[in-house]
Amino acid sequence: MTVETSSGGSPWPTRIILAIWFVCFSVGSLIHILVVAKYGLFANDPADPLPTPFVVVNEFFTVLNPLTIALLIFRRRAGILSALGVVALVYVLNLALMVWFWTAKQHLHVAWLYLNGTMGVFMALTARRLWRAAPEAKALPPATTPSPT
């Protein structure tokens, strides 16, 4: 495995950024897996229920977070794209939840901004550096057709 260096010649800034990405997605994976283990898949609080589409989309992260970690390890550029897609989905989900909480309960839902919001901004700002440092995908071998003889 090769690690591209930064413009200054050191691979450490890229490694540190990647480590932060791993920590973010590992914590997210752990939290979503523990919630599923404790309450079950697609669980909803009967005392304070959320609309089912929000619950379903939230459960996607139970699979998407570990998948993103695996992609970051084995297919770095695919992992970067997956991470940015997951973060975008987090933003869309939570912005929709903000609207729902405000219209249904007159509650301003901002708790997600501190962790997920900060993580998303950090990833958006560092994705280009990781992309440039990621090894390019190997080209597929040329397709061969079996000989009729």
Q: Which of 35-49, 74-88, 134-148 has the lowest mean pLDDT?
A: 134-148
Residue 4 included in any domain: no
Residue 110 included in any domain: yes
- Model pLDDT for residues 17-53, shown as the tens digit of each residue: 999 999 999 999 999 999 899 888 988 888 888 899 9
Residue 144 has pLDDT above 90, yes or no: no
Distance CA 137, CA 23 (A): 24
Residue 143 included in any domain: no
Residue 69 included in any domain: yes
CA 106 to chain CA centroid, nearest Å: 29
AA letter at 62: T
Residue 6 included in any domain: no
Residue 70 included in any domain: yes
pLDDT confidence bin for 6, thresholds 50/70/90? very low
CA dihedral 61, 66, 68, 69 (to 10 degrees): 150
Residue 109 has pLDDT above 70, yes or no: yes
Which structural domain range is residue 81 located in?
A: 12-133
Domain count across the chain: 1
Residue 107 included in any domain: yes
Residue 83 has pLDDT above 50, yes or no: yes
Q: Which residue has the higher pLDDT, 5 or 56?
A: 56
Residue 74 included in any domain: yes
Note the pLDDT of residue 39.
85
Note the pLDDT of residue 7.
52
